[in-house]
Every structure is written in C-alpha cells, then in structure tokens.
Chain A
Amino acid sequence: MRNSRRLIRSSLALAWAAVIAVPGLALAQDVSAAERARVEAEQRAQAIERNARENARQLTLLDKQGKVVATVGQRGLYNQPVLSPDITRVAVIKADPVKETNDLWVVDLASGRETQISTSKSREPVQAPAWSPDAKYIAYVGLRGSRYGIYRKLSTGAGDEELIYQHLGGPIVLTDWSLDGKVLSFYASDLSGSTLYLVPVEGDRKPIEVTHSESQVVAARLSPDGRWLAYRSNEKDNRDQIFVRAVPAPGASKDAPVGKWQVSTEGGEGMVWWRRDGTELYYFGPQRGVMAVEVRAGQDFEFSKPRLLFRAPPSVPATGNPGAFGSVSRDGERIVFVVPPSQPLRQLTLFDRTGKVLSKVGDPGIYNQPSLSPDGSKIAVMRLDQQTDLTDIWTYDVASGRGTAVTATREGENAPIWLPDSQGVAYVSARNNANAASIYRKAISGQGTEEQLFRYTPGAGMVLTDFSADGKFLTFDGGGIILVVPLTGTDPLKRQGVDFARSEYEAGLGRFSPDGKFIAYGSNETGRFEVFVRPFDAAAASAAGEQKWKISSDGAMGGITWSRDGRELYYLSEDRPASEVKVMAVEIKASPSFEAAAPKVLFRLKGPLPGNPGQWKISPDGQRFVFAMPVETPGTK
C-alpha cells in the first residue's frame, strides 16, 4: 500500500519543484547517524542476499574422466576445497557474509555432514587448507589481529587452534603438507618476487627459504620428493603458463644454474597438484581444461605433453583463480569442485517509454551494460565468452541484430561508453598485464588500432562513466570519487584526472548533461544513494561551486542518463518488496535557472536485473530504453 501511494503521488507530481540547493555538508547533517546506519545496514543486507543467491556453490566430486560421482550437501559460499588423503572428506573455506567470517569446515562426502573447524572473529579470514598425511590435522593460514599465521587444528574440530608460524609481513599462501608429515610449504610474494618456504611442523618451527624467484609465481607446490617446484607464472611473454624448476640443494650457491621447464603449452590458469607417487601432475589449462602431465624424474626432469582429462563445469571461472574452485586428490583419481550457479542468459531488449517491448536484438548471451548509440542505430555492450571467460566489447545493429566485435583480447575490456559521433566506443582495460587500467577508444568496426586516452594510478580500479557531448572530457569513478579528465594534448600519459566529487561519502556514475553545463551523479551523502546534479565548470574541469540539486526522492540504484535534449533525466530505482526495477524520469529545466520536477515512474521491469544495471546508460532519447533482460524472466509488468 505504501508503495502504491508513493507511485500515485510521484506520478501526479507534475509541477516544477525547486529542489534542494544547499551545500552537501548541510544535506548530510539532515540525516541522523542512526538513520544512516539503518539504511546502510539495509543495503548491506540486500547485497548479502544477492551475493548468496548468485554465488552459492555446490560441492561436486568428479572422477578422472569428468563424470560427476557425487554432489555433496547444500549449496554454500564455499571456496578452496581440498580432499582428504583418503578421499572421505573435504576441507573447504566457507564464508558467512552476515558475520563477515571465512572459516574452515570439513564436509563428509558420504553424509554431507558439515563440521566447523576454525572459529574466527569477523574480518579475520582463514584460507588455504592443507591436510596432514594421516588426515588427523588440517593446517591453514589465518589472519589474527593484524598478523598472518599458519595454524593447525584437529580435523574433528576438537580443541584449540595451534599456531605453527607467525608471519610478520604480508599475506602468505599455504600450499602443502609434506608426505612424511614433517614440513609445511608456503610462499610469500612482494615486489622482489616470490619466495617458497618450508616450516617444520614440530621443533623450532623456523621457516627455511627453499627458493626465490624474481618473477611472481602463483600456487607454488613441491613435488613429493621435494626436488621439483611446480608453479604458475607469466614470466614468459606475459602469458600465464605452468613451469617446473629444480629446487637447489641445501647450501647450493645462489648463482648456480637451476633447471627450469615450461610444462604447459597452451597456457596454464591455476593451481598445480602432484600425484602422491610423483609420476603425474595436474593443472587447470585454458577453457576450464583439467590437464595431466606424466613425469619421469631421474637426474633430470622429463615430462610428457599435457593431455586434457576433461573440462570443468561451465560455471567454474576459466580465468582468474580457478584453483580456488577445485583441487585434485593425492592419488589423482578424484577432483572436487565448488560449482557456482550458471549465469542466466540475457537478451538485449528495447522498450518504449511505457515499458512495451519494441524489439529483441541479437541472440541471447551473457551481456552487460548495454547502451544505445547517440544516433540510436546500434547497441554497445560487454559480452562474456563463456568458453574463455573473457569479456569483450561488441556492438549490435538494432535493425539487423548483427553483432560486431570491437575488441578481442586476452585482457578483457569493460565499461563501454559511446563516443558522441556514434562511430566509436571508449572502454577500460589493462594491457599487457600492466597494473594500471587505462581508457581507450576504438572504431566500432573493430578495425584499426585502439587509442589510449588516459592511464590511471597503478593498482587503482576505475569505471568509465561518460564522454562529454563535445568530446573534450571524460569522467570516471575512482574508488568512491568522481574524476573528470580533460582530453588535452596528445600524450595520454600526461593527462590528469580532476576531482569533481570527493568527500567522505561515496559518489559515482557521473554523466555530462548534453550542453556540458552539469553533471548528474549518484551519492550516498544523505544516507542512501540518490541522484544529484551539480554545475560543471569546463574551464576548471570540476564542479562549479558547492551548489547541487537532489533529483531522486526515494533512493536510486543507478542507470543515470540524460535525454539528448537535456530536458529529462532517467534513473533506475528498486522496489524490493515487489522485486521490481522502476524506470524513473525527471523533467529538467536548465535555464534561466536549474529546476527539476518530481520523479515519475515510466515503467517497471521484473527484477532483479542481472549484471551491473547501476552503470547502464538506459536511453539516448527517452523514447527507447535498452536492457539486458534475463531470458528466463522476460517482460514487464
């Protein structure tokens, strides 16, 4: 009833309203700390619910041919499953997003019964479990206070956790427990490279540096006889591959040559496991391939060409860190995965202003962030290739539905934004495994080379949100702040971002008004996310003064878009009780002074919308709206 009243009220509110025009600080003070905390808690609960719905994973046991032997227990937020040596139990990390804990659990494969092993405080996560050879103990890395340590605990869950080693530096990754039960291996990485250590389980427990690599190595794991180290690295051609290197004998000179072999041939994505007898090793290859390599280790390391055992379930990520989703048993006969839910396919769909479906464009796929070109003839969108797990930018012709790849790279691209002339798209990517994300632009034909427009601070995340209509500025989100980049000069590396919105509250999703005099954006400065407009000073590339207008009235989830003539602003709002997304419109009058009418609902979509609808530019003209709709739940209400 309450929502119905709101709808009627906002639909009837046609009169121009002089809305809030006060400095942000005063605005923020209007909301009590208690109210802010309540709203933030509500938003957090929603995010948790969504996370659980989209990411709860099923423990699944497969044989060496990829046949499912068993699915175990209920779905949960599982990670890093490791089979016990006798393949009767799985040690697995389970997240509790409400308590903000990540703890170690043991799941019995026959009964599905779960036993909690570690009991951590909030935000003191546990990771990287390793079974003792007799399965009596499980070791793991735990953050306790501000220090990482390697702990062990009885695999029954009884007793207290026992600290084996405390690391005073950054994060460490425990990879294995030796077959004789005497040592644990772990590695640590920093700018100087990666170092593998062994730490005795008993005695003085002082770690011994086994080997150091100047390149970053991942998932380093010793062979059962301790002579070889298998790991993933991008040390060659910037492409991840699996390598094996000899472990130097104790006391050997650091300058002594060390044998090293590239084992994978087509790329290696993840964790390496050795069979107990050392005659075979396994790793994740491209396109979810579980690969096996026969090993003949005499004086030298000899190995066979990798062979594909099977492909992991399609919802397991193919890139990133697939090792977090599965592992191989000590005998090489069983593989356990935590299998995420499949992503629903989506259909690019155009709606009219009343919510009526006008057309469906292209075939169903995993699309994200669709936007119509300024001339309305094409849709730019992020498209995920489910085989490779890579995202590229595509355009689709609205009339014919024909798709064209604008990019096709291993790095992947995101946040596509149309250039004003509808002939090109700008997007974000990090090239050549660089740590810095950049903004590029490229012709929609996909032909020709891309042009780098701007490079952000190394290590920082960025979301490109808009290009000004005159092509002179772009704007992006940079970690709760909005920056504007004047596209001056010819050297993209000399261009600097200028603060448009930076405060203690989060701001983002900046969109230039068509005349370039304002930027609409989202901020939670009032206690929940709302849409605001501030004047933009092109000469300074920043906000013109402190004045701002609050546009939304009942919260917003993004989708901020100006109409081409600047007379309307659109955004998305969520009606959670009804599980609907409301497409909102606000009439705007920019002169002689800025005024915004009360928001009204144009139409409603069945929610939740998959992907990142908050970032979408939903309409160029207020007549056609584009969404990537779940295939299973199409339509409007």
Chain B
Amino acid sequence: MRDRIAFALGFAVMLAAGASAHHNMSAMFDFNQRFTETGTLSKVDWRNPHIYLTVDAKNEQGQAVAWSFEGPPPVFFRTREFSREDFEKSLGKEITVEASRARDGSKAGLIRELKLADGRVISACPQNC
C-alpha cells in the first residue's frame, strides 16, 4: 500500500482506476475453489465498480438456484469490445460461468471466465484469477 494507495492520475486514467478492486477479492472468494455453473441469465446489473450477473441454475436435486456472479467493472469489458448489450442479448438464454466460490457459502462467485449464449467466451483474468 504505502504511498501508492489510490493514486489516480486524473481523468485520463480513471478508466484504469475504474478497474481497481472495490473490495478484497481473496477475502470474499476462495480462488482455490473453482466451480462451473450453467443456467439462464436472468439479470444484468451493469454498473461500477463491479458488474453482477444473476444466473438461474438447477442443483443436483433439480431445484432452481439463483447464483449471483460478480465480475470486473464495465470498462473492463468495453476495452475487450464487449458491451452491456452483448450481455443483455443473453438474457433468458443459457450461459456458462466458471468462478471462484464465495467464502461465506452463499450462492455467489467471482467470475473467472464465462460463455455467452452466442458462444463467445470472455476471460476475467488476470484481474479475477
């Protein structure tokens, strides 16, 4: 930390600042607990400092489970030429998310990689890996 905490350089690099973590990822998510869920994308919350996707999947008993997946900020995707609209086109359709599991045992994860309904794959690494 020291003198380098939150040392934004102004507007020109606020894009990068937007990509900075909003909380301690390794405290909330266990990077050693990787899992994959496939389900229907039911909600896209496309805001800073992190996007959230809600995915309705089924557990081993066939019961519906709503998973909340956290991802990098919107600018992360903009610079990779993925827009909010690209995600919204997958609403109601099947997507697959590979994530690190929430430490508190909730149905939540930190996105490492995801596949949209159109088959395109987006990596959230190295930020989230």
A, B: real partners: yes
Given contact pairs A143-B129, A146-B123, enumerate 20 new A-B contacts (beta carbons under 8 Å): A170-B32, A190-B26, A320-B4, A382-B3, A412-B2, A412-B3, A415-B6, A437-B6, A458-B24, A460-B22, A477-B8, A478-B49, A480-B75, A504-B74, A506-B15, A522-B11, A529-B14, A557-B11, A614-B8, A614-B11
User: CA A390 – CA B15 in complex, angstroms?
Assistant: 26
Give 15 pairs: A residue, B residue, CB < 8 Å, sorted on A. A37-B78, A47-B15, A123-B123, A123-B125, A143-B125, A146-B129, A191-B103, A430-B5, A460-B24, A460-B49, A463-B6, A480-B48, A504-B47, A529-B12, A556-B11
| Residues of B with C-beta under 8 A to A148 | 129
The 4 A-B pairs with the shortest beta carbon distances in the complex, nearest first, are A614-B10, A459-B24, A480-B18, A170-B31
In chain B between 1 and 42, which residues have their CB closer than 8 angstroms to a CB of chain A? Answer: 1-18, 20-27, 30-32, 34
| Residues of B with C-beta under 8 A to A462 | 5-6
Of the residues B5, B9, B46, B81, contact of A612 by C-beta under 8 Å = B9
In chain B between 59 and 94, which residues have their CB closer than 8 angstroms to a CB of chain A? Answer: 73-75, 78-79, 81, 83-84
Of the residues B1, B15, B17, contact of A44 by C-beta under 8 Å = B15
Chain A residue at smallest Cβ distance from B84: A504
| Residues of B with C-beta under 8 A to A461 | 5-6, 17, 20-21
A508-B14 CB under 8 A given contacts A414-B3, A462-B6: yes
| Residues of A with C-beta under 8 A to B119 | none
Chain A residue at smallest Cβ distance from B2: A412
Answer whether residue A526 sits at the interface, using C-beta atoms and an 8 A cutoff.
no
User: Closest approach, in angstroms, between the C-beta of B16 and any C-beta of chain A?
Assistant: 7
In chain A between 109 and 154, which residues have their CB closer than 8 angstroms to a CB of chain B? Answer: 123-125, 143, 145-148
| Residues of A with C-beta under 8 A to B22 | 457, 459-460, 478-479
User: Closest approach, in angstroms, between the C-beta of B35 and any C-beta of chain A?
Assistant: 11
Chain B residue at smallest Cβ distance from A100: B79
In chain B between 78 and 118, which residues have their CB closer than 8 angstroms to a CB of chain A? Answer: 78-79, 81, 83-84, 98, 100, 103, 112-113
Of the residues B48, B79, B103, B113, contact of A146 by C-beta under 8 Å = B113
User: CA A147 – CA B8 in complex, angstroms?
Assistant: 30
| Residues of B with C-beta under 8 A to A170 | 26, 31-32, 100, 129
Contact with B along A518-535 (1 / 0, CB 8 A): 000010100001000000
User: CA A147 – CA B20 in complex, angstroms?
Assistant: 21
Answer whether residue A77 sits at the interface, using C-beta atoms and an 8 A cutoff.
no
Chain A residue at smallest Cβ distance from B49: A479
Question: What is the predominant secondary structure among interface residues of chain A facing chain B?
Answer: loop
User: Closest approach, in angstroms, between the C-beta of B104 and any C-beta of chain A?
Assistant: 13
Residue contact A558 to B26, C-beta cutoff 8 Å: no
| Residues of B with C-beta under 8 A to A320 | 2, 4
Residue contact A522 to B15, C-beta cutoff 8 Å: no
Chain A residue at smallest Cβ distance from B48: A480
Residue contact A479 to B129, C-beta cutoff 8 Å: no
User: Closest approach, in angstroms, between the C-beta of B81 and any C-beta of chain A?
Assistant: 8
A508-B15 CB under 8 A given contacts A478-B22, A480-B75: no
Residue contact A614 to B12, C-beta cutoff 8 Å: yes
| Residues of B with C-beta under 8 A to A46 | 12
User: CA A480 – CA B11 in complex, angstroms?
Assistant: 10
In chain A between 159 and 209, which residues have their CB closer than 8 angstroms to a CB of chain B? Answer: 168-171, 190-191
Of the residues A47, A319, A430, contact of B13 by C-beta under 8 Å = A47
What is the interface size of chain A, counting residues whose CB is below 8 A from a CB of the partner?
75
Chain B residue at smallest Cβ distance from A501: B48
In chain A between 299 and 353, which residues have their CB closer than 8 angstroms to a CB of chain B? Answer: 319-320
User: Closest approach, in angstroms, between the C-beta of A492 and any C-beta of chain B?
Assistant: 17
User: CA A47 – CA B113 in complex, angstroms?
Assistant: 27
Residue contact B49 to A481, C-beta cutoff 8 Å: yes
Chain A residue at smallest Cβ distance from B8: A463
Residue contact B27 to A191, C-beta cutoff 8 Å: yes
A503-B12 CB under 8 A given contacts A320-B2, A461-B5: no
Output the residue of A170, A428, A615 with the most chain B CB within 10 A.
Answer: A170
Residue contact A502 to B48, C-beta cutoff 8 Å: yes
Answer whether residue A33 sits at the interface, using C-beta atoms and an 8 A cutoff.
yes
Answer whether residue A213 sits at the interface, using C-beta atoms and an 8 A cutoff.
no
A384-B30 CB under 8 A given contacts A477-B8, A477-B17: no
User: CA A612 – CA B124 in complex, angstroms?
Assistant: 28
| Residues of B with C-beta under 8 A to A508 | 8, 11, 14, 17
User: CA A461 – CA B73 in complex, angstroms?
Assistant: 14
| Residues of A with C-beta under 8 A to B112 | 146
Residue contact A190 to B32, C-beta cutoff 8 Å: yes
User: CA A189 – CA B2 in complex, angstroms?
Assistant: 21
Answer whether residue A43 sits at the interface, using C-beta atoms and an 8 A cutoff.
yes
Answer whether residue A488 sits at the interface, using C-beta atoms and an 8 A cutoff.
no
Answer whether residue A35 sits at the interface, using C-beta atoms and an 8 A cutoff.
no
Of the residues B4, B9, B21, B34, contact of A460 by C-beta under 8 Å = B21
Output the residue of A50, A382, A459, A524 with the most chain B CB within 10 A.
Answer: A459
Answer whether residue A580 sits at the interface, using C-beta atoms and an 8 A cutoff.
no
| Residues of A with C-beta under 8 A to B27 | 191, 435, 458-459
| Residues of B with C-beta under 8 A to A507 | 48
Residue contact B79 to A168, C-beta cutoff 8 Å: no
Answer whether residue A505 sits at the interface, using C-beta atoms and an 8 A cutoff.
yes
